Amino acid sequence: MKSLGIVMNGVTGRMGYRQHLVRSVLAIREQGGVPMPDGSRVQLEPLLVGRSAEKLAEIAERHGLEHWTTDLDAALANPDYPVYFDAQLTSVRREALLAAIAAGKHVYTEKPSAESVAEAEEIARAADAAGVKHGIVHDKLFLPGLLKLRRLVDSGFFGRILSVRGEFGYWVFEGDWQSAQRPSWNYRKEDGGGIVVDMFCHWSYVLENLFGAVEAVTARAVTHIPERWEADGTRYDATADDAAYAIFELSGGVVAQINSSWTVRVHREELVEFQVDGTHGSAVVGLHGCKIQPREMTPKPVWNPDLVESTDFRSQWSEVPVNDPVDNAFKVQWEQFVRHVVADGEHPYDLWAGVRGIRLAEAGLESSAQGRRIELSGASR
């Protein structure tokens, strides 16, 4: 069996550890490697990198891993590890990615790839010039609900798609009387925080791959909660936006409205839901569920505010079955990237897709600051 060495930087963080190390790379190791098109398998060999020797040693011992280091330069100089993965804070990602590319590593990274479009383009151009393969996380496309939505779009179920309405978020506690369930850097702009930078990169590839590329955005970014508290009780100023309300204009005339918020209490079935309306049918989609109402089954409501509504509208929708088993979204994209590196398999979600995500985030913040619609120009390849 072939093996592929991967330098994994940032595995002591929440996402790097849980989703990328445990639920992806270690899960792939347990299943005997990544299946290749020719029937062979490629086993993954991680080299853990981080700033805390104590944390790295503990993680390595917990999972029976041999190789870890706090010396990134030494890890990048090791020819046994041709792939570099980055799950660090966005503010330190650019330097590490450029160093990995200069060392000839194929690179795979969490999003956003950098703090600005200019920096993201710099990284993508460097990767192209070096001839290395590159990819960026796009996990939402592999969620069970969105896979069902993909099936509906491909089948022509919707007819002509008219609009998309999205609601994402939940209440993140301030940290004073109940502990916060997200790290504090998310709420400091100077540390790369903010829901626009975080979520618009996701909305970019979701909208682009399901409905059409974003051509213009009108957005309002808000900091609803101006102060929060660290886990140790230290108060800090929340300088980053914690909610964003946006209208995205897509190619083909589709209009998408998506609210993103860490200051909303959930009254829906899942933490994210999208309603897609078309001439022939509609769907309501979450992380896992997907309910549909075709035009043949569409009721004819009549507006009458003088009467209490007695119709159970939700009962008039049908659940779309899973049909095929669905694996962890992060693990699936890891397998896709490994096949891309080893067997030249398809992988359209490269660093240029990451540039488009950051461009959308910057346009959203510009729209909010200027109070106007922003057209996206100079689309990246």
Query: In CATH, what number is assigned to the domain containing residue 204?
Result: 3.30.360.10
Integer Cα distance of 79 and 132 in angstroms: 14
Mean pLDDT, to the nearest integer, of 33-47?
A: 96
CB 290 within 8 A of CB 145: yes
Confidence of residue 31 (pLDDT cuts 50, 70, 90): very high
Q: Are residues 319 and 337 in the same domain?
A: no
Q: Are residues 215 and 113 in the same domain?
A: no
pLDDT of residue 236: 97
* 379 in a structural domain: no
The structure's pTM equals 0.92
Q: Are residues 206 and 299 in the same domain?
A: yes
CB 323 within 8 A of CB 155: no
Q: Are residues 24 and 164 in the same domain?
A: no
Q: Are residues 127 and 179 in the same domain?
A: no
Distances (CA, A) of 361 to 49, 112, 191: 29, 10, 16
Integer Cα distance of 299 and 308 in angstroms: 17
CATH code at 62?
3.40.50.720
| 321: pLDDT strictly greater than 60 | yes
Q: Are residues 228 and 290 in the same domain?
A: yes
Chain segment 206-248, per-residue pLDDT in tens: 999 999 999 999 999 999 999 999 999 999 999 999 999 999 9
* 161 in a structural domain: yes
| 378: pLDDT strictly greater than 90 | no
Q: Identify the three-state secondary structure at position 257.
A: strand
Residue type, 355: V
pLDDT of residue 329: 94
Q: Are residues 168 and 120 in the same domain?
A: no
* More confident call, 1 vs 193: 193
* 381 in a structural domain: no
Q: Are residues 13 and 154 in the same domain?
A: no
Q: Are residues 118 and 183 in the same domain?
A: no
Q: Are residues 76 and 158 in the same domain?
A: no
Q: Are residues 90 and 19 in the same domain?
A: yes
- Domain hosting 269: range is 141-325+359-374
Q: What is the DSSP string of 337-370?
A: HHHHHHH-------HHHHHHHHHHHHHHHHHHHH
Q: Are residues 169 and 315 in the same domain?
A: yes
- Report how many domains make up the chain: 2
Confidence of residue 14 (pLDDT cuts 50, 70, 90): confident
Mean pLDDT, to the nearest integer, of 278-288?
A: 97
pLDDT of residue 303: 92
* 347 in a structural domain: yes
pLDDT of residue 1: 81
Burial class (CB in 10 A: 0-12, 13-18, 19+), 199: buried
| 379: pLDDT strictly greater than 70 | no
Confidence of residue 380 (pLDDT cuts 50, 70, 90): low
Chain segment 140-188, per-residue pLDDT in tens: 999 999 999 999 999 999 999 999 999 999 999 999 999 999 999 999 9
Task: Report the percent of the chain where pLDDT is more than 70.
Answer: 99
